[in-house]
Chain A
Amino acid sequence: MVRSEEGQLYTIEGIAAGLIMIMTAYLVVSATSVYTAGDTHISDMHLEQIGTDALMAMDTPPDIYTISNLSAFVRDDNGEGFKKMFLNITNNRTLSGPDHIQFTASYTCRNNVDNSIASYPLSFSRNLSGGEHAVRVTKWVIAKKNVCGNNYFPVQDRAVLVEVLMWRD
């Protein structure tokens, strides 16, 4: 029996190299958890930004003597006006057909007699069925209105929180 140990070093090296390669492959494979748009809520953030910008635009008055459109919509309970303007701003796209963002909006106000909070629906473009993946955008609005059953005379400026749930269908 010829005992040749000439190849032992190479065998050990081979095992070591093999282990290194396996470890490297494991690290690389476990690192390729690529965050897709759905995972990282990038599309949600995008939608949220569109909504925030739309509400911001709606709450910007043309000059200091006029109140903003959004403030007027809340003051007059003008849901139709809100709906028309909001869908116009959010759904219009350049060089392609309109987007299909839907929303439901409400506003929250405070009764300062008993310090209670109540929310009232403002407008909606489609009923919420519960299956939508909606994001919430909010905007503080100053409205000269007797909100939540307050009874001021003359009417005072009040802060209300407009909340919009928006989603694409």
Chain B
Amino acid sequence: MARLNDDAQWIILMGFLISFSFFFLAIIINQSTVVGQTTAESVIEFPKNDIRDLTGVIEYNTTVSNSTLVNSDITAIAMNRKNAIVRYTVILPQTPQDTHSYALIHYNNGVTEYDENWTSL
């Protein structure tokens, strides 16, 4: 390496450093879309409306006397039309000590399993 001028080696080093930082930034950008997609998919997958709707109808069920008929309707129709296992047990208010109704809700559509201990307002 005779007569090779290596005064500017640090410039080359800086060049390498900058290239590597670009490289890692590119990896981060590359992965960010994957992260976004996974999150979006799990948000879409979660049966938010189904479960909300179910708690709505259970709330109603805590006010009617013949709740077993409605309960069986929901179990059978949910399995048939939505491929979801829905079970719930309603505990009516123990008045006058406690005016709240309670319901243990189980929901499983094969992808999402959800259990809730629901309390009326």
Contact = CB atoms under 8 A, between A and B. Distances in A.
Interface of A: 5-6, 9, 13, 16-17, 20-21, 23-24, 27-28, 30-31, 33-35, 40-41, 45, 48, 52, 59, 108-110, 112, 115, 117, 119, 137-142, 156-161, 163
Nearest to B20: A20
A110 B73 contact: yes
B37 interface: yes
Interface residues of B, number: 41
B69 A157 contact: yes
Contact of B29 (A27, A59, A112, A157): A27
Contacts of B19: 17, 20-21, 24
B30 interface: yes
Interface of B: 1, 3-4, 12, 15-16, 19-20, 22-23, 26-27, 29-30, 32-33, 36-37, 40, 44, 49-50, 53-54, 56-57, 60-61, 64, 66, 69-70, 72-74, 76-78, 80-82
B81 A28 contact: no
Given A27-B26, A157-B69, 18 more contacts: A13-B12, A13-B15, A17-B16, A17-B19, A23-B23, A24-B19, A27-B23, A27-B30, A28-B29, A31-B33, A35-B36, A35-B37, A109-B73, A110-B72, A110-B73, A140-B54, A142-B61, A157-B64
B69 A52 contact: no
Interface of B is mostly: helix
B14 to A, nearest CB: 12
Nearest to B56: A140
Contacts of A6: 1, 3-4
Given A23-B23, A140-B54, A156 B69 contact: yes
